[in-house]
Structure 1
Amino acid sequence: MTQSLIFDMDGTLFQTDKILELSLEDTFDQLRSQNKWNDVTPIDQYREIMGVPLPEVWAALLPNHSKEVREEANAYFLERLIDNIKAGKGALYPHVEEVFRYLKENQCSIYIASNGLTQYLKAIVDYYQLDQWVTETFSIQQIHTLDKADLIKIIMKKYNINKGAVVGDRLSDFRAAKENGLESIGCRFDFAREEELSQADQVIDDLIELQSIGAQMKHNF
């Protein structure tokens, strides 16, 4: 049986922290220039909520601002993220390409399910040419519930997936896996928290470990 692995993007495949602070600083500089912000950039607060859908991010970072201001900030932030990706300022985590190549050679189907927006995900996939391994990339933007479990469900239905695993770094990934009857593999990377990783079925410190896990899954399936 063909294996299926569904990967999160930020903090799992892509080292978001390399462009996060740059892009967020640019966004709050823009707000300061418009006299809509007069404090330091809340980078630490953003790191705390990293992984939630962007509408929730801006509601948290700009709680006293209008929906219009939040949407403008989100749009500008997205522009800066994409510009920084295209400028090569980001990076994949070590061994992403090596692991993807190994998984494809061993008849594993690879998908991406992310809380990131479609344009942002496309910029990463295009820049690093991930579509040579990834069957399809899905954004939370594609569903109205903004619930990652629902996004995983759509992937499973579309590709007739019955068994497999979700690879991610946050609780939303592990819950999405559990609600859909999949294994969960937690990545102890930049944005991960130990109390959330405890909810994963397995935890890895390097993506290269997926080679041995993939082989084990194939044997079990």
Structure 2
Amino acid sequence: MSGSVPAPRGTVLLDLDGTISDPAGGVYASFRFALEQVGKPWPDGEPLAWIIGPPLRESFMLLLDDPEKAAAALQHYRTHYAAGALYDNRLYPGMAEAVAALADDGFRLYVATSKLVGFAEKIVARFGLAPRFERVYGSSLDGRIDQKADVIAMCLGTEDIDPETCIMVGDREHDVNGARANGLDCIGVTWGFGGAEELTAAQALTLCERPADLPGLIRQVIDARLAVLPSET
């Protein structure tokens, strides 16, 4: 839990990969390793950015078209990733400051990621951000919670979050669509893996181009909503 802060003024759900940090090094290495283990090496030079965002279970099924091979590949991926590849990951410049500013300003902060929750918790802790977030939500080991919409739904329900004063922040269409499925808007960040075109097509509420601009943009959105909500008496 974060330290002493003003009364909560709203809630922010932040995606991890492509929003808080760039995991490409470790993800790509583990993905290649997994495919090699099931006899379908990824061709050199072929792009891999598309795998960051969607659930890995889906990506392996798309490529292998075989449930058994996809399950085996996912297990190989997790083994390789857990062995150290998860730390081949870099925090985007300015994100630590943006998260700190939001927490100090009284926002409740949660991570909502499609990454396996155990991996996500280790990465958030590695970057020293764990005290700023109330909790990390991610996919489950058994696959029951896998889609971004499911992760967001679990967070909203468990934490009793008011959707009226909650915003999602992410870099892919999966973040926008998952938020919409739960009655939330999503601010799209353009420094990740989706880009402005993908986020605009998915109908993100607005785009953010720099981490330094994120706290102000979130304040603007949430404060506008608070201004029109009925006051408690």
TM over 0.5: yes
CA deviation string 1:102-126 (max 9, x = no partner):
1111111111111111232122123
Q: Which amino acid aligns with 2:16?
A: M
CA deviation string 1:134-174 (max 9, x = no partner):
11111132773633223222212222221121000111211
Where do residues 1-221 of structure 1 align in structure 2 (5 Å cutoff)? 2-31=9-38, 36-37=39-40, 40=43, 44=47, 46-63=48-65, 66-82=66-82, 83-86=84-87, 89-141=88-140, 144=144, 146-162=146-162, 163-198=165-200, 199-220=203-224, 221=226
* Alpha-carbon contact 2:30-2:81 (below 8 Å) kept: yes
Equivalent position SS for 1:115: strand
CA RMSD of aligned residues (A): 2.4
Instruction: Give distance in 1, aligned partners of 2:221 and 2:85.
Output: 37
TM superposition score normalised by structure 1: 0.84
Give the gaps of 5 or more residues in structure 1: none
Instruction: Give distance in 2, aligned partners of 1:124 and 1:200.
Output: 26
Kindly state the Cα deviation for residue 20 of structure 1 after the two structures are TM-superposed. 2.5
Q: Which amino acid aligns with 2:86?
A: I
Summarize the Cα distance change of 1:200–1:41 in structure 2 as closer, same or farther, 3 Å threshold. Answer: same
Q: Which amino acid aligns with 1:183?
A: D
**Percent identity among equivalent residues?**
24
Q: Which amino acid aligns with 1:84?
A: A
Kindly state the Cα deviation for residue 80 of structure 1 after the two structures are TM-superposed. 2.4
TM superposition score normalised by structure 2: 0.80
CA deviation string 1:72-97 (max 9, x = no partner):
221221232231234xx311111121
* Alpha-carbon contact 2:36-2:42 (below 8 Å) kept: no
Aligned length, in residue pairs: 212
* Alpha-carbon contact 2:13-2:109 (below 8 Å) kept: yes
Give the gaps of 5 or more residues in structure 2: 1-7, 227-233
Q: Which amino acid aligns with 2:29?
A: L
